[in-house]
Structure 1
Amino acid sequence: MRVFKNLGWFFKLEKKSYITGLLMLVLVALLELVPPQVIGRVIDRITTETLTSNALVLFGVLLLFTAILTYIFRFLWRIMIFGASNRLGRKLREQLFKKYSSMSPAFFGRRRTGDLMAHATNDINAVQMTAGAGILTIADSVITGGAVLVTMALTVSPKLTLIAMIPLPFMVILTSWYGSILSRLFRVAQAAFSSLNDKTQESIAGIKVTKTFGYEEEDLKDFTNLSDDVVHKNLKVAKIDALFDPTITAIIAISYFLSIFFGARMVVADEITLGQLVTFTTYLGMMVWPLLALGWFFNLIERGKASYDRIEEIMNTVSDIGNTAATDDVPSGDITFNVDEFTFPGEDDVSLRDLHFTLKEGQTLGIVGRTGSGKSSIIRLLLREFDTAGNNAVEINGLDIKQYDIKKLRALFGYVPQDNFLFSTTIRNNIAFTNPEIGTAAIHRAADLSYIHNDIEGFPEGYDTVVGERGVSLSGGQKQRISIARALISDPDILILDDSLSAVDAETETAILRNIEENRAGKTNVITAHRMSAVRNADLILVMEDGRIVERGTHESLTKARGWYYETYKAQSLRQNLTKELDETLEGGDGS
């Protein structure tokens, strides 16, 4: 019953609906007591030959009136109770989605997408059933079952009622035992479903890679094994679930046998009439549903408890990134990194060390280095995806960024990540993501600045082209440029391009960077790249290696130093010139 205690906050919110629904159930239970009484009295009048036409019509009208009221009250309790349970599902989904939205990247690194989706679907459905059908079954068991038992004892025979109820304690013991087993097995089955859900999401998202490597059969085999595991674990649940109805039916059958055996003897002994015995057996038949409902109730609450525990585990998870703002100021000014050491949560190796530099407001910072050198780690600290500890600090205008309200902080940034994510909607909606109401002219301008406007105009549907899930219908360069347009449209104080020009050619890269430089005067830019040409005009260039700054300066000073930056820039320039000459040679050969 712990799940009902945990859901107490919701029952308080919906107390009017539940009270009204339960009142309707009470009225239905009372109305259902009328037909057996009518049947018993009609039989007794037939046996005593005292039944008249007027009495028969009166009994018929009474039954009709009872049926109409029962219909109305049943309709009302369904609206009240099931309506409330659906609102619980909506509220839990909203709370869970809000929780997901507030969590740090470290949380999603530890959790699988399929598992998170299972919490928002199967687990919430199980809890919703507990608050709907669960309330119904326990209320029906107590109200209808209690009313029938009391009526049997008062209107027929207390002794016969006690005899009929002898097997019931065994049913309670057995169904409670089944329920405890079911809770454990259902939790295991839900975890297996989460794994299958994660595998499905991962396989569909990576279908291109799977097909490229010809891995379809192996992937199908993995999926089949996981699916078989889900079936196997759910069959265990089903086997326990299947014990409820036969157990209850057997108990009811024993009650019927005892009632008819001892009831017949009581009729012969003139302790009760034949009509009363018929009424009693009719009432006993009405006990079938309350007893089945009681078994179903144990089933539902154990499922709901297992699922609510899984949801609560997520809801009680504390984000690695807190929001204890010490100031209401909007962050602006110089960016300063004073980080002696930084290690990502859950890792042993130090990711960044001796990271000390200042970027003046309105300047452009270029960060270059080999893959894994720590370029993106700097960005993630600046975006406050992870927090520094101890005396390590990332500051804006001399104040640790942890002191700013996290929403105000992140509102500063226009961020284009390495993995360009586009939503499965139109290009227009993707670009205008941060401000859906923005005008067409602003959308076109942002697209023009990111050198994608002409490409979009060339599509059959133009800006209304639906890009497909994660932008699957676009090339890598097109996705990058649309992502840049999305960042530029909000005219952010700090624009971050995290290796976001890797899929475009040198000419397009130059055009985009020139547009940014010309249209973002006084605004801060941070660019990470593998191509030195992307950061050539930066006010400050950092060369990273193994999480350290090994070179720093402007393009001119770094080329004069003749270090890694100079050697890489020279090699890339030579390769670019050779490629250009080769293209010109091929074009000349085609024209001759």
Structure 2
Amino acid sequence: MGIFIKLGWYFKREWKTYSTGVIGLLFTALLGIVPPWIIGRLVDLIHRGQLTVKALVFLLVLLTVVSFAQYLARYVWRTAIWGESAKLEATLRERLFWHYMQMDTQFFQEYRTGDLMAHATNDLSAIQRVAGGGILQFADSIITGGTTLIAMMTVVDWRLTLIAILPFPFLAVMARVLGKKMHNAFKKSQAAFSRLNNKAQESISGVKVIKSFGQEKDDMDEFNGQVDDTININRHVNKLDALFDPITTMIMAVSYVLTIVYGGHLVISETITLGSLVSFVSYLSMLVWPMFAIGMLFNTLERGNASYDRINNVLNKKSKILDKQNGVAQEARGDLQYELDSFSFPDEQQENLHNIYFTIKEGGTLGLVGKVGSGKSSVIRLLLRQFDDYQGTIYFGGIDIRDYQLDALIPAIGYVPQETYLFSNTIRENIRFARPEASQKEVEQAAAKSDLAQQIATFPAGYDTQVGEEGISLSGGQRQRIAIARALLIDPELLILDDALSAVDAETETEILQTLRTERQDKTTIIASHRLSSVMNADEILVMDDGKIIERGRHAELMRQNGWYADTFKLQALETEEKEGGFNG
């Protein structure tokens, strides 16, 4: 019953509606006592030869009225209990989704997408069943079972009732023994579902890679292996679950035998009438549902308990990024000053960034270049406050970025990553994602700045073109330019392009960068790129390697140093010439 205690906060909040539902169940149970009594009365009248038309009509009318009243009572409890269980699921779903939105990068590194999806679907459904079916099974087993037993003792015979319920204690023993085993089994079952969900999500997302390397069979074998593992775990759960019904049926069968034997003796001895025995058998049959409900109740409670614990583990995770409610509320702007002594990713011993110092005047442009894994993206991730645990300070407008409210800092930054994510919507809605109220003219201006407006004009549906899941219907360059337009639409104080031009050709890159220099003369820009032509006009260029700055200066200064930057620039220029020469040839 622990899950009822854990959900006590909700039951207390909605006690009025649940009370209405329980009262509806009580009336349903009380009204359910009447039909067996009517049947027993009819049997006695027939047996004695005393049945008249008037008596028959009266009993039939009474049976009809009771049936109609039961219908109304059932409507009341079903509306109340099932309605509240749906509200609980909606409440928990909103709470869980909001929690996902508040969590930091480390959280999403710890929990895979499939796990989070399993919590938001399978686990929430199991909890909803506790607040719906669980309450019904608990209350109905007590109310229907209790009222039926009272009717059996008062309307028929208390001695026959005691004899009939002799096997019932075995049901409590069985429920206690199996309940503990089922709790552990359900936990393993939910975990297996999460693993299978993860595998399905990864395989569907990476289907292009799987096909391009011809790994369909191996991936299918791995997926089938996880399916088999999940089935085996659930088979064990089902074996435990399946023990409830046969044991309950056996207990009820023993009760029927005892009832027939001892009840027959009472009829023969004229202690009770034949009609009373018929009523008693009807009452006993009414106990079948409460007995089965007890078995179903333990199933429902253990599933819900395991799921509630899993969701609570997620909800108890705290973001390492603290949003100061009394922090600076004005939107961040001004010079950007980076004074970082050291930074290491969580759970890593080695330093990922070391002695990173630079200043970008408002309206200036900084270039970040270096080999893959040199630390360019790490510098940017700290600016975006994906991690706050570092030695040093990053100032934006003379204020530590950790002292800003997130709603004041994040909207001031337009971030365009290399791996662009687009929503399954139109081009227009993807561009104005951060500003849903933006006009069509503003959307078109942003598209023009990212050198995409002319291509959109060639699409049959124009800005209403559906991009497909993750922008699958567009080329890599088109997706990147939509992401750039999306960032430019909010006119950020700081624009960060993290290798965001890697999928466009050199000519398009030049057009976009020239537009940015013209349009953003009073706004700050950071460009991280492996293509050095993207940063050659920056006010300062930082060359990074192994988390440190190894060269810095303007393009001309770095070329004179004849270091990594100069060598790489010459090599890339030579590759470009060879490509153009091969094309022209």
TM (norm. structure 2) is 0.98
Q: Tell me whether 1:355 sits opposite 2:356 in the alignment.
A: yes
Letter aligned with residue 449 of structure 1: K
Paired with 2:327 and 2:82, the residues of 1 have a C-alpha distance of 46
Determine the structure 2 residue equivalent to 1:476: 476
Paired with 2:287 and 2:389, the residues of 1 have a C-alpha distance of 64
What secondary structure does 2:357 align onto?
A: strand
Paired with 1:494 and 1:5, the residues of 2 have a C-alpha distance of 50
Structure-to-structure mapping, 1:466-545, within 5 angstroms = 466-545=466-545
Letter aligned with residue 174 of structure 2: L
Paired with 2:307 and 2:579, the residues of 1 have a C-alpha distance of 59
Structure 1 residue ranges (4+ consecutive) displaced by more than 6 angstroms after TM superposition:
none
What secondary structure does 1:411 align onto?
A: helix
- By how many angstroms is 1:577 displaced? 2.7
Structure-to-structure mapping, 1:107-506, within 5 angstroms = 107-330=107-330, 331-389=332-390, 391-506=391-506
Letter aligned with residue 63 of structure 1: L
- By how many angstroms is 1:397 displaced? 2.5
What secondary structure does 1:307 align onto?
A: helix
Determine the structure 2 residue equivalent to 1:590: none
Structure-to-structure mapping, 1:86-101, within 5 angstroms = 86-101=86-101
Paired with 1:388 and 1:515, the residues of 2 have a C-alpha distance of 36
- By how many angstroms is 1:176 displaced? 2.5
Paired with 1:569 and 1:259, the residues of 2 have a C-alpha distance of 96
Determine the structure 1 residue equivalent to 2:548: 548
Q: Deviations over 1:481-502 (max 9, x none)?
A: 1111111111111111001011
Do the aligned partners of 2:375 and 2:546 also contact (CA within 8 Å) in 1? Answer: yes
Paired with 1:114 and 1:354, the residues of 2 have a C-alpha distance of 38
- By how many angstroms is 1:518 displaced? 0.7
Paired with 1:526 and 1:29, the residues of 2 have a C-alpha distance of 72
Do the aligned partners of 1:145 and 1:290 also contact (CA within 8 Å) in 2? Answer: yes
Do the aligned partners of 1:183 and 1:306 also contact (CA within 8 Å) in 2? Answer: yes
Letter aligned with residue 360 of structure 2: L
Paired with 2:286 and 2:583, the residues of 1 have a C-alpha distance of 88
- By how many angstroms is 1:326 displaced? 4.6
Q: Which moved more, 1:371-380 or 1:358-367?
A: 358-367
What secondary structure does 1:392 align onto?
A: strand
What secondary structure does 2:373 align onto?
A: coil
Paired with 1:485 and 1:333, the residues of 2 have a C-alpha distance of 23
Q: Which moved more, 1:508-517 or 1:49-58?
A: 49-58
Paired with 2:325 and 2:22, the residues of 1 have a C-alpha distance of 47
Q: Tell me whether 1:80 sits opposite 2:56 in the alignment.
A: no
Paired with 2:127 and 2:272, the residues of 1 have a C-alpha distance of 47
- By how many angstroms is 1:325 displaced? 4.5
Do the aligned partners of 2:337 and 2:396 also contact (CA within 8 Å) in 1? Answer: yes
Paired with 1:120 and 1:105, the residues of 2 have a C-alpha distance of 19
Q: Deviations over 1:376-397 (max 9, x none)?
A: 00000000001133x4222222
Paired with 1:521 and 1:4, the residues of 2 have a C-alpha distance of 61
Paired with 2:334 and 2:436, the residues of 1 have a C-alpha distance of 29
Determine the structure 2 residue equivalent to 1:45: 45
Paired with 1:400 and 1:439, the residues of 2 have a C-alpha distance of 34
- By how many angstroms is 1:354 displaced? 0.8
Q: How many residues align?
A: 584
Determine the structure 2 residue equivalent to 1:7: 7
Q: Which moved more, 1:43-52 or 1:535-544?
A: 43-52
Letter aligned with residue 195 of structure 1: R
Letter aligned with residue 316 of structure 1: N
Q: Which runs of 5+ in 1 are unaligned?
A: 587-592
Do the aligned partners of 2:329 and 2:407 also contact (CA within 8 Å) in 1? Answer: no
Q: Deviations over 1:194-253 (max 9, x none)?
A: 111111111111111111101111111111111111111111111111111111111011
What secondary structure does 2:346 align onto?
A: coil
Do the aligned partners of 2:328 and 2:403 also contact (CA within 8 Å) in 1? Answer: no
Do the aligned partners of 1:381 and 1:388 also contact (CA within 8 Å) in 2? Answer: no
- By how many angstroms is 1:460 displaced? 2.3
Paired with 1:22 and 1:332, the residues of 2 have a C-alpha distance of 59
Letter aligned with residue 101 of structure 2: S
Do the aligned partners of 1:325 and 1:403 also contact (CA within 8 Å) in 2? Answer: no
Compute the RMSD of aligned alpha carbons: 1.2
Do the aligned partners of 1:85 and 1:131 also contact (CA within 8 Å) in 2? Answer: yes
What secondary structure does 1:551 align onto?
A: strand
What secondary structure does 1:541 align onto?
A: strand
Letter aligned with residue 274 of structure 2: L
- By how many angstroms is 1:193 displaced? 1.0
Letter aligned with residue 556 of structure 1: A
Paired with 1:388 and 1:337, the residues of 2 have a C-alpha distance of 15
Letter aligned with residue 408 of structure 1: A
Do the aligned partners of 2:542 and 2:551 also contact (CA within 8 Å) in 1? Answer: yes
Paired with 1:264 and 1:329, the residues of 2 have a C-alpha distance of 84
- By how many angstroms is 1:541 displaced? 1.1
What secondary structure does 1:329 align onto?
A: coil
- By how many angstroms is 1:459 displaced? 2.0
Do the aligned partners of 2:28 and 2:73 also contact (CA within 8 Å) in 1? Answer: yes
Letter aligned with residue 197 of structure 1: N
User: In percent, how many aligned pairs have the same letter?
Assistant: 49
- By how many angstroms is 1:580 displaced? 2.5
Q: Tell me whether 1:62 sits opposite 2:62 in the alignment.
A: yes
Q: Which runs of 5+ in 2 are unaligned?
A: none
Q: Deviations over 1:416-465 (max 9, x none)?
A: 01211111111111111112231111111111110111122222222111
Letter aligned with residue 258 of structure 2: L
Do the aligned partners of 1:325 and 1:406 also contact (CA within 8 Å) in 2? Answer: no
Q: Deviations over 1:497-527 (max 9, x none)?
A: 0010111111111100011111112111111
Structure-to-structure mapping, 1:17-56, within 5 angstroms = 17-56=17-56
- By how many angstroms is 1:147 displaced? 0.3
Paired with 1:223 and 1:21, the residues of 2 have a C-alpha distance of 44
- By how many angstroms is 1:324 displaced? 2.6
What secondary structure does 2:10 align onto?
A: helix
Letter aligned with residue 307 of structure 1: S
- By how many angstroms is 1:472 displaced? 1.3
